[in-house]
Amino acid sequence: MNNTDNRAIGIFDSGFGGLTVLKEIEKKLSNENIIYFGDTARLPYGSKSRETIIKYSKEIYNFLKKKNVKLIVIACNTASSFALEALQEISDIPVIGVIKAGSRCASRESQGNILVIGTKGTIKSEVYKKEIHNINNNLNVYQQACPLFVPLVEEGMLNDEITTLSIKKYLDNYINNIDSILLGCTHYPLLKESIKNTYNKNINIINPAEEVAEEVFNTLQKYNQLSNNKNRKIEFYVSDDKEKFIEYGSLFLGYNITNVEEIDIEEYKKA
Amino acid sequence: MNNTDNRAIGIFDSGFGGLTVLKEIEKKLSNENIIYFGDTARLPYGSKSRETIIKYSKEIYNFLKKKNVKLIVIACNTASSFALEALQEISDIPVIGVIKAGSRCASRESQGNILVIGTKGTIKSEVYKKEIHNINNNLNVYQQACPLFVPLVEEGMLNDEITTLSIKKYLDNYINNIDSILLGCTHYPLLKESIKNTYNKNINIINPAEEVAEEVFNTLQKYNQLSNNKNRKIEFYVSDDKEKFIEYGSLFLGYNITNVEEIDIEEYKKA
């Protein structure tokens, strides 16, 4: 019996944010090849309709399938919310999203009071709140949109006074009433230390990406599909502006990205 | 001889920012009907290619022409940069852009040292710098991208401590060497007072929208096309998310917007 599968794991996002998910998978599964796609030509996804996001996600699914991946991770909150089920319906390989994983982790770890933070779109959709309540309706879920966090992360201002003030602006009202903060935006893990350092309190900060990495590991193990690559490869594909991806991507990952290729994602409309 | 023309002025932008241009035109030309289009489904324009922006601008041109406007203002820096000439070529009515107007004003008013501030895209393109140097090559033009300003404006944080710190972060290095600041992003006029209040110095802050309003007035006067409407109307059209436009738009204009309609701009591909 063959106990290994050296095909790659596929990960996609609207742009750079999903790299925080890649980072956790890279760490947890060190023998796995990874193919990452960032839809930089069509970001942001947050302001687009469900129908459009499903269409885009299917194109990306077709692209990743052509690359012969064995599992797909939707590393984008909007696409996880709108397109997870649509992809699972058409897919013959496992598809994993960040929202179910993050909500599961929050429900398991919280002692009763969770604050979900995210972009305006994610918070307005209440997707984490609903998913957490599906698991445990007794948990108190507070929500707060933090629109300055994405530009602060993208500016690399992780330890700036402006960032500390922004954290206080958004979180001060909740901090004494909660035990956990769920990072409901893939940019926010870069602010985890800054948030911890702003408050003199033991707060459990939940990064859904860690739970996603666990789920990927467990799924591959269950189906005997873990790799035994000695020199795993990570490849990056984007739909626009390779240079910007290299610049921002290196900030997200903490090392220099090199192998990035620009593709025309609309060519993958048909499987 | 007929000395009036009561058709509307058309204004377009990728979203909300162009409302600062509308505001100046509204003030300067109080008898004019105005039709504003914000391409909220396809924003931001800054990250898209020249070809795409020209295509989008032509669709919007067709829409505004169907609305029978007498003059069109491109109230968007990216579209002014990429599509002004393309629209002027196909148009039988005047088309006015923010970049030429802003650069003309800066060249005329500066005593020699200008700082252009804008989004990363605008600053990287050097479009204001080139245009100013086309007019007067002896002016020193400094440039600074200010990526936090748009989210700060959209959050309504005009007088927040975070905004003051952000202004200082971006402008401190230049402030002693310049006499003028050109606001090269349509969101920035909302920060004009905050910038003035941050420094104890007489700085000339140039809002290209004021020069655009002058140019619109002069153009209509020249062709005997000023209106004599007693009760002028302002209508708004967007390609997505009317509610968000009403919320943000009211912040930009300082009064409540009501008459906003959502349209499918892709229907205007053909004239």
Q: For the segment B79-125, what is each residue's pLDDT rounded down to a tens digit?
A: 999 999 999 999 999 999 999 999 999 999 999 999 999 998 899 89
% of chain A at pLDDT higher than 90: 87
Phi-psi group of B112: left, alpha or beta (phi > 0 → left; psi -120 to 50 → alpha; rest → beta): left
Q: What is the pLDDT of residues A48-77, one digit of tens each?
A: 888 889 999 999 999 999 999 999 999 999
Chain B hits for A145, Cβ within 8 Å: none
pLDDT at B2: 62
Which ipTM score applies to this complex?
A: 0.86
Is A76 catalytic? The answer is yes
Q: Do A47 and B240 touch (CB under 8 A)?
A: yes
CB pairs under 8 A between A and B: 43
- Both A140 and A182 in one domain: the answer is yes
- Both A169 and A263 in one domain: the answer is no
Is A105 catalytic? The answer is no
Which of B40, B144, B155 to mutate to probe the A interface, most A CBs <10 Å? B155
- The minimum CA-CA distance between A155 and chain B, rounded to whole Å, is 8
Can you give the pTM of this predicted structure?
Answer: 0.89
Q: Which residues of B are catalytic?
A: 76, 185
- The minimum CA-CA distance between B16 and chain A, rounded to whole Å, is 14
- Both B149 and B200 in one domain: the answer is yes
- Mean of all residue pLDDT scores within chain A: 95
Nearest to A140 by CA among A178, A196, A187, A99: A178
- Both B143 and B171 in one domain: the answer is yes
Which residues constitute the domain of residue A158? 100-207
- Both B147 and B191 in one domain: the answer is yes
- Which of A207, A231, A251 finishes a domain? A207
Residue B84 lies in a domain: yes
- Both A219 and A179 in one domain: the answer is no
Residue A90 lies in a domain: yes
- Both A185 and A226 in one domain: the answer is no
Q: What is the pLDDT of residues A100-134, one digit of tens each?
A: 999 999 999 999 999 999 998 899 899 999 999 99
- The minimum CA-CA distance between A258 and chain B, rounded to whole Å, is 21
- Both A34 and A167 in one domain: the answer is no
Domain count of the fold of chain A: 2
**Three-state SS annotation for B72-135:** EEECCHHHHHHHHHHHHHHCCCCEEEHHHHHHHHHHHHCCCEEEEEECHHHHHHCHHHHHHHHH
- Both B66 and B106 in one domain: the answer is no
Residue A20 lies in a domain: yes
- Which of A165, A182, A207 finishes a domain? A207
Q: Which of B41, B48, B169 sits opposite A162 (nearest CB)?
A: B169
Average pLDDT over residues B181-206: 96
Nearest chain A Cα to B145, which residue? Answer: A155
Could you give the CA distance from residue B260 to residue B239 in angstroms, rounded to a whole number? 10
Q: What is the pLDDT of residues A127-167, one digit of tens each?
A: 999 999 999 999 999 999 999 999 999 999 999 999 999 99
Q: What is the pLDDT of residues A211-226, one digit of tens each?
A: 999 999 999 999 999 9
Q: Do A47 and B43 touch (CB under 8 A)?
A: yes
B114: domain CATH number? 3.40.50.1860
- Which of A154, A186, A207 finishes a domain? A207
Q: Do B147 and A154 touch (CB under 8 A)?
A: yes
- Both A143 and A128 in one domain: the answer is yes
Q: What is the pLDDT of residues A175-224, one digit of tens each?
A: 999 999 999 999 999 999 999 999 988 999 999 999 999 999 999 999 99
- Both B203 and B217 in one domain: the answer is no
- Both B142 and B153 in one domain: the answer is yes
